[in-house]
Homo-oligomer: A and B are copies of this chain.
Amino acid sequence: MEGVDYLADERKKAGFDVDEMKIVWAGSRHDFELTDRISKLVANDPGFSKEGRTMLPRKELFKNTLRKAAYAWKRIIELRLSQEEATMLRRYIDEPAFTDLHWGMFIPALKGQGTDKQQEKWLPLAYKMQIIGCYAQTELGHGSNVQGLETTATFDPQTDEFVIHSPTLTSSKWWPGGLGKVSTHAVVYARLITDGKDYGVNGFIVQLRSLEDHKPLPGVTVGDIGMKFGNGAYNSMDNGVLSFDHVRIPRDQMLMRVSQVTKEGKYVQSDIPRQLLYGTMVYVRQSIVSDASLAMSRAVCIATRYSAVRRQFGSQNGGQETQVIDYKTQQNRLFPLLASAYAFRFVGEWLKWLYTDVTQRLAANDFSTLPEAHACTAGLKSLTTSATADGIEECRKLCGGHGYLCSSGLPELFAVYVPACTYEGDNVVLQLQVARFLMKTISQLGTGKKPVGTISYMGRIEHLMQCRSDVKQAEDWLKPSAVLEAFEARSARMSVACAKNLSKFENQEEGFAELAADLVEAAVAHCQLIVVSKYIEKLQQNIPGKGVKQQLEVLCGIYSLFLLHKHQGDFLGTGYITSKQGSLANDQLRALYSQLRPNAISLVDAFNYTDHYLDSILGRYDGNVYPKLYEAAWKDPLNKSDIADGFHEYIRPLLKQQLRTAKL
């Protein structure tokens, strides 16, 4: 069996240089080498085995995660990994853990909201993991509405302390990852009260557990909130509940970068603009978009490989059956997801650039692009995470019955992924923010304020309201300009239609509330345009490697024409295309599927995922699916014995009609 490759024929078909594509996917040769090296390091280390993950009871699962986290840290130190390498190592361990929050939220919060002095004190401790921190914002009663948080931090000038308190049940912190069983510290968001006045929500560094025996400190009630979706999935994380009974912290543990409380209890704003805080948000969201492309590509890799292995129907004269990947319905469900993985990858890359750009501007006190950057990251976070969650489940269905087994990897991938639609901003709430930005942009058209960045097409509103698609034959839809104008016109017209309808309301807020569903559709149209346009920009770059650019063009066409077909109502309804042009787009889409087909396996190989990372029998690199499925089944605890535990008590009396006297 060793060395077998059931997908070898598929791999031979590729019309492009897979190694070059790997570099495009990774972002650079450096990134390719980094991810390749670290992912293999993890895959080859038995200390990071995923074996049995979906079968462990919660406590064992969690304990194993603690072990992995400690072991990872040990390896990081032993191998002297850089921060970049360490981050990759944690990614490829591929299991939610308290360290995600420590590195991903606690430290960034200290950096973003702490004064220099606070950073000097706390960061070294955090960097060495002498303290472990989490991000405690959400409460039982408030998530989306952060301004509604109920936890209080009341300043007591007598002792120069804040009193952190949970006045109600609903004010209990609820959800923070790493909080339940591990964190020694938290950045706690609480209403700042001083001098009898409520100054709204601010962050505070609060110690929760003893650094000696790990016991919760007096006044601190803390625990895990219980089982979440899926088997292993997110249950390796101790999302926690926390409440305070008048817990006192020194005044200097208020995060004071943008506002302070003096010894006398006076509230003062620093001269550092509040907007600086948005930089962090842009950063976090860009990483969520890039994670979306990771999750989507993993699911697609599994479904694509299995679709080439799986054969069903269509055998002629006793020959082999048809590979299910050759069915047009399968392609129509799968290939747009493959295209989305690439599209999200590129828009994620661009967001990294945007983050740098925003950071530089902020440093130079230029806040002009912030609203646009904010809307665009919010919208892309929402768009890509929703599409990815749906996409993973579609990939599972594409694998038929076998996709329902944990050993397919897809149930876990789904269960662990879906909260991305909720955390860091509920996806609908985010699109409503985008919609607000769109309406504001439109209301300012003609006032001389020029729309910038991703919204600059609104500057050509007059043209976009009138133009018509000039597509005459299917191939015309391959022209980037044709596609781009279509998405611009659709988005502009949907926004303008909303603005018109809004203007009929006396009260704008009431209008916004009433038309919210339409506004969300307009926001989605705008975000889809961003993804399409960034993909098209990417294609204007020089992309080396035989056939690589051509493949990316095919994928770009599939991504955009699939959306055009799916949302045909928008394109037709706004009058930009005719129904004939819509059908031509669909014809072209089918043709692109046929072009993609021979390259499908190689396009997912280009993700360069190890079998360890995929953790899917259906998605194995070698396609050796059936023997491995069969083998894996026998590992289930139920198969430890021929006769089921419970046979004597419950099955035998049933069969023997002896239930009357049985103890059940």
Residues from chain B with Cβ under 8 Å of A230 in the complex: 229-231, 411, 415
Asked whether A637 lies within 8 Å of B315 as measured between CB atoms, the reply is no
Find A238's partner among B328, B570, B638 (CB 8 Å cutoff): B638
Residues from chain B with Cβ under 8 Å of A517 in the complex: 328-329, 331-332, 590
Asked whether A223 lies within 8 Å of B590 as measured between CB atoms, the reply is no
Q: With an 8 A cutoff between CB atoms, is A505 at the interface?
A: no
Q: With an 8 A cutoff between CB atoms, is A124 at the interface?
A: no
- Nearest Cβ in chain B — how far from A625, in angstroms? 9
Q: With an 8 A cutoff between CB atoms, is A482 at the interface?
A: no
Most buried by B among A74, A227, A649: A227
Q: With an 8 A cutoff between CB atoms, is A130 at the interface?
A: yes
Asked whether B639 lies within 8 Å of A70 as measured between CB atoms, the reply is no
**Complex: how many Å from CA A176 to CA B315?**
25
Residues from chain B with Cβ under 8 Å of A572 in the complex: 568-569, 572-573, 579
What is the count of identical protomers in the complex?
Answer: 2
Find A633's partner among B181, B226, B571, B653 (CB 8 Å cutoff): B226
Asked whether B313 lies within 8 Å of A516 as measured between CB atoms, the reply is no
Asked whether A321 lies within 8 Å of B148 as measured between CB atoms, the reply is yes
Asked whether A626 lies within 8 Å of B170 as measured between CB atoms, the reply is yes
Asked whether B405 lies within 8 Å of A637 as measured between CB atoms, the reply is no
Residues from chain B with Cβ under 8 Å of A582 in the complex: 569, 573
- Nearest Cβ in chain B — how far from A356, in angstroms? 31
- Nearest Cβ in chain B — how far from A537, in angstroms? 28
**Complex: how many Å from CA A128 to CA B513?**
60
**Complex: how many Å from CA A421 to CA B132?**
44
Q: With an 8 A cutoff between CB atoms, is A544 at the interface?
A: no
- Nearest Cβ in chain B — how far from A458, in angstroms? 21
Residues from chain B with Cβ under 8 Å of A629 in the complex: 140, 174
Which of A50-58, A86-94, A345-353 interfaces with chain B?
A50-58
- Nearest Cβ in chain B — how far from A51, in angstroms? 13
Task: Please name the residue on chain B nearest to A419 by beta carbon.
Answer: B404
Known: A70-B659, A223-B633, A226-B406. A400 touches B144 (CB 8 A): yes
**Complex: how many Å from CA A69 to CA B626?**
33
Known: A129-B654, A401-B422, A627-B169. A637 touches B59 (CB 8 A): yes
Could you mark each residue 513-524 of chain A with 1 if its beta carbon is under 8 Å from any beta carbon of chain B, else 0? 111111010000
Q: With an 8 A cutoff between CB atoms, is A184 at the interface?
A: yes
Asked whether B646 lies within 8 Å of A63 as measured between CB atoms, the reply is yes
**Complex: how many Å from CA A644 to CA B223?**
10
**Complex: how many Å from CA A635 to CA B224?**
9
- Nearest Cβ in chain B — how far from A405, in angstroms? 6
**Complex: how many Å from CA A82 to CA B432?**
54
Asked whether A223 lies within 8 Å of B647 as measured between CB atoms, the reply is no
Q: With an 8 A cutoff between CB atoms, is A271 at the interface?
A: no
**Complex: how many Å from CA A102 to CA B570?**
49
Q: With an 8 A cutoff between CB atoms, is A47 at the interface?
A: yes
Q: With an 8 A cutoff between CB atoms, is A609 at the interface?
A: no
Task: Please name the residue on chain B nearest to A226 by beta carbon.
Answer: B636
Asked whether B70 lies within 8 Å of A653 as measured between CB atoms, the reply is yes
Asked whether A406 lies within 8 Å of B227 as measured between CB atoms, the reply is yes
Could you mark each residue 391-423 of chain A with 1 if its beta carbon is under 8 Å from any beta carbon of chain B, else 0? 001001100110111110001000100110111
Residues from chain B with Cβ under 8 Å of A657 in the complex: 128, 130
Q: With an 8 A cutoff between CB atoms, is A131 at the interface?
A: yes
**Complex: how many Å from CA A56 to CA B570?**
48
Could you mark each residue 137-180 of chain A with 1 if its beta carbon is under 8 Å from any beta carbon of chain B, else 0? 01011111100100000000000000000000110101100001
Residues from chain B with Cβ under 8 Å of A411 in the complex: 228-230, 415
Asked whether A638 lies within 8 Å of B181 as measured between CB atoms, the reply is yes
**Complex: how many Å from CA A312 to CA B146?**
9
Known: A67-B650, A633-B241, A636-B224. A626 touches B579 (CB 8 A): no
Asked whether B329 lies within 8 Å of A432 as measured between CB atoms, the reply is yes
Residues from chain B with Cβ under 8 Å of A128 in the complex: 657
Residues from chain B with Cβ under 8 Å of A422 in the complex: 397, 400-401, 403-404
Q: List, sorted by A's number, 30 A–B pairs whose CB atoms are closer than 8 Å.
A: A47-B664, A58-B637, A58-B638, A62-B645, A62-B646, A66-B646, A67-B646, A67-B664, A70-B650, A70-B653, A73-B654, A74-B659, A143-B312, A144-B312, A148-B315, A169-B627, A174-B629, A181-B644, A214-B644, A223-B636, A226-B406, A226-B407, A227-B407, A230-B411, A327-B513, A332-B517, A401-B419, A403-B422, A404-B419, A514-B590
The 9 closest A-B pairs by CB, nearest first: A568-B569, A229-B411, A569-B569, A332-B517, A181-B644, A66-B650, A71-B664, A63-B646, A66-B646
Which A residues are closer than 8 A to B by beta carbons? 47, 54-59, 62-63, 66-67, 69-71, 73-74, 77, 128-132, 138, 140-145, 148, 169-170, 172, 174-175, 180-182, 184, 211, 213-216, 223-231, 234, 238, 241, 312-313, 315, 321, 327-333, 389, 393, 396-397, 400-401, 403-407, 411, 415, 418-419, 421-423, 426-428, 432, 513-518, 520, 565, 567-575, 579, 582-583, 586, 590, 626-627, 629-630, 632-639, 642-647, 649-655, 657, 659-660, 662, 664
Additional A-B contacts beyond A70-B664, A227-B636, A328-B517 (19; CB < 8 A) = A55-B227, A56-B57, A62-B644, A63-B645, A140-B630, A174-B401, A174-B629, A181-B638, A226-B406, A226-B633, A228-B404, A228-B411, A229-B404, A229-B411, A230-B230, A230-B231, A327-B516, A329-B432, A573-B583
